[in-house]
Structures are given as C-alpha cells and as structure tokens.
A = this chain, B = another copy of it.
Amino acid sequence: MSPQRKLLLLGTFVHCKTQQDLEFLHDAGIAVDAHGKIAAIERDVGDVSEAKTRLLKKLGWSEAEVDVTQAADGQFFFPGFVDTHIHAPQYANAGIFGKSSLLDWLETYTFPLESSLKDLAKARRVYARCIRRTLSHGTTTATYFATIDVAATNLLADLCLSMGQRAFVGRVCMDGTEVNPAYYRDASTEESLKATQQTIEHVRKIDPGFDIISPILTPRFAPSCSREAMSELAQIHRETNLPIQTHISENPGEIQLVAKLFPEADSYAGVYDKYGLLTPRTVLAHAVHISEQEADLIAQKGSKVSHCPCSNTCLTSGPARVRWMWDKGIDVGLGTDVSGGYSPSILEAARQAALVSRHVAMGIEIPNEGGDAAVEKEKEKERVKLTVEEVLYLATKGGARCVGLEDKIGGFKVGMEWDAQLVTLNAVNEDGEVRELDDDEGFVDVFGWETWGDRVAKWLYNGDDRNTKRVWVKGKLVHRRK
C-alpha cells in the first residue's frame, strides 16, 4: 500500500454505542494516521478548532501533513456500512424477479446471468458498476458471492482492491448436479476445489496480508454442493482460518430439498455442521425458517446470520426474526442479497429490517379473550419491533461482528480503522421555498427544529446515496459526490 496522507475529521460524529443506543459526538475531532487507523479522538471540547489544535498537539502532527475534512453544520460522520451478503454478478438483475420464489428464481433469472459473466468484458461492466454503486451508498465492506468462474472472480477481487472497497470475495462452489444446471456448474469436485484454491492464491498475490481483500470459502448452498466439497472446504477453513459463507433455510421448497438430499442430517443447519461448515467465521444468509434447535446449534457454534429483509420479502421467502436470533445469542448483520433483494443499499436494508420486524409483530396473534396471555402477546409484539438505533447497529457493528472485523470497523474508537461516510441532509430554507429545488442532496428535509435523533431517523427512512457525500475505507477517500 502506498503511504497515505494523515486525516483530521472535525464536526459531529454518530455511531452505535450499544445495540440500543447511538452516541453523538458534537464539536469533536478524529485523527487518522497514515495507515488508516484512528490515532486519537477529541470530544467535549466545545469547539472544532479547539479539537483540531488539541489533536495536532497531542499527536505531534503538523497542520501541513494532514488533510482536514470539516463536516458542515447539520452534517455528520457515520461508520461505513457492512453488506454481509451480496451477489456481485446479480447486480445487473436488480429489480428483475417477477413473481418468482427461490428455486424458480435461480433457474429463470440467476443462473443464466451468472453463467454469462465468464465473458470478462461483461463481468467488468457489471462488477465495476456494482462496486461503484455500493460504495456510493456507503458500503465500505462487502461480502461477495462471485460466480464459479476463476478469472471473473479474480477480476472482482482486483476491482475491489483498485476501487478501494474492503471485500470478501468468494468463488462459488457448485459441484452438485441436483439443482445446478449443466451449463453452470463445476466440472467435478476436484475441479471445484482447485478453482477455489486458484482464487485464494490470486488474492494472496494482490493483497498478501488480506488487508482490504480476503478470500471467502463459498459453498453456494447445500443442494449445490457434494458432501466431499463441503468437507474439503471445511478442511481449508481449518488450515487457513479463512471465512465461510453460504445460504440457509430461505424457502420451504429449498428446505424440503435439503431434507431429501441429506437424509443423514436432522436439519439444514445439521447438514452444515456435519460437514464442518458451522464455525465462528461462517456467515449464513437468510435463516428465515430455522428451528429452535437449529438456532441453538448456530449460536453454540458461534456462526453468524446475514439478515436479508428485502430479498426475503421479494422472493416471498418469509420474515426472519431478528429479535429471536438475538435472544438466542446469534450475531446478526444485514445483507442486501442483490438481486434476490433489489436494492444495493444497506441503508435501504436497514429500513426494510425495521419494516419486516413490524410484519413479524403484526403476525403475532393477540388472543381475543384478553387476560394475561393477551398482555404478554402485546408485549412481545412491541418487543420484536426494531428501532432506528437497532437497525443501524445491524448495518454497522452487527455486520462487522458477522465478518470478524469488530475490532477494526463499525464504530469510532482509537485503534480502529477509518471506514466511514460523511452524511448530509437538506436544510429547508426559512422563506417557504416555492422555487425550483436548487440542490440535489436527496430528499431528506430538515426544518431545523428536529432533534439529532429525529435527523438520524429521517436519514434512515428517506435517505439515499445522495446523502452520502464522502466515503473512506481504511483512511482512503474512495467515493465523493459532487
């Protein structure tokens, strides 16, 4: 990595202190060193120029060696988003899913597109646009499924590195013959594992310390993989500690298929456990229909869940129960699951996590006869709803925990890396604007009387990429909006 300029960030900082609470630092300053690490934080100094002076003095840095970014009044810095589940090749299909559900969606829309990306020119167009867009939405870390193709997967890793997005890049293992079509599957288990090794070697070459890019072992989902391939991938994990990602329990038809194909296991999670894939470094996408026992097993193994609310609704998979998974002690992050989900934005995923939690609440029946049982159900209905703070936690710290980066990203703390975004909202002028809109900073309108909590809520619910003015990964500016 070439040496970077040091940074001083000044203004208001907002991040998730806990799962339930945001912390607001006003008139504060953060200093970032040449390695992209937070070197110092000054808060409660009442004045940004004072924060700046103190930081420079404390660190012995001169003004000449730092780039200063001062958030304007009403703007704030927020941690970059973590997308724990996104299919880069499917970006080209965002919004195209008709009335399909999982298995016919794979066959109709997904396998044909993924297969076609062995054309590297096409892959470059789709991947570059996917990375550019997700960066523009504030996604500083993305956990990608690529395709089965080695060269295209390596290209995705190259593009993430050159565009500066922190990424886990997985060549998709599909050596099974049950659901994988003849035109899109690995030639054999041996070829499949060899191809995966080639993509791991490639990343080792371009980013030896896995500083920004890491390979990730990616059995697509149990029905796509042989027992041997799953076991071998688990063996690679044990040797290398590389992370693992796959899908679990998205759709009833899929679950039936898994039961049929793997009679030796007593559940879907049981299949992954049997073949060594349930590890603390495993991200399981969806987990909509997992049983109590499966949730307990996942928690016990320390595996993580990527909640994909948009996709779960679009493909009529079902509403996943985040509060319940949290109760079980499972770490949960958010996935856009493009293109099962239509949106490349984790802010949208957070919004939809809030909405879907309300659908979970609305599904709780309140007994007509009233009494204690009804009171309990009403409490439960209230409790399962996710707050603004909680869904933003999922989008940042929750995601960081899922991908094992909780010590590096997801919040603002000395020693952590500067993966962040600068957020702006529209201030509505005083004179009752009837003229044309003269800005293009999204449509979150702040009138001036809102609390900071209200502003963040407005951003969550109506914000988009226009509100994300700057994005940094590891201290490097990787996106800026004019």
Contacts and interface: CB of A to CB of B under 8 A. Distances in A.
Contacts of A433: 125, 128-129, 132
A382 B101 CA distance: 10
B96 A358 contact: no
Interface in A403-439: 428, 430-434, 436-437
B362 A434 contact: no
A359 interface: yes
A94 B127 CA distance: 35
A14 interface: no
Contacts of A362: 313, 316-319
A162 B462 contact: no
Contacts of A361: 316
A78 interface: no
A466 interface: yes
A359 to B, nearest CB: 5
A242 interface: no
A137 B442 CA distance: 12
A208 interface: no
B460 A95 contact: yes
A445 interface: yes
Contact of A359 (B313, B343, B381): B313
B95 A461 contact: yes
A247 interface: no
Interface string A334-373: 0000000011100000000001001101110010000000
A99 interface: yes
Interface in A158-217: 159, 162-163
A381 B480 contact: no
B342 A461 contact: yes
A239 interface: no
Contacts of A480: 436
Contacts of A461: 94-95, 342-343
A458 B94 contact: yes
Contact of A382 (B99, B129, B445): B99
B428 A96 contact: no
A443 B319 contact: no
A95 B388 CA distance: 10
B443 A316 contact: no
Q: Which 3 A-B pairs have the closest CB atoms?
A: A95-B461, A124-B432, A342-B461
Given A94-B462, A125-B428, 10 more contacts: A95-B459, A95-B461, A96-B457, A96-B458, A126-B447, A136-B437, A137-B443, A355-B355, A440-B440, A464-B464
Interface of A: 91-92, 94-99, 121, 124-129, 131-133, 136-137, 159, 162-163, 252, 313-314, 316-319, 342-344, 355, 358-359, 361-363, 366, 381-382, 385, 387-388, 428, 430-434, 436-437, 440, 443-445, 447, 450, 454, 457-462, 464-466, 479-480, 482
18 contacts: A94-B461, A95-B457, A95-B458, A95-B462, A97-B457, A98-B387, A99-B382, A99-B387, A125-B428, A127-B432, A129-B428, A131-B434, A136-B437, A314-B358, A343-B462, A355-B355, A359-B359, A464-B464
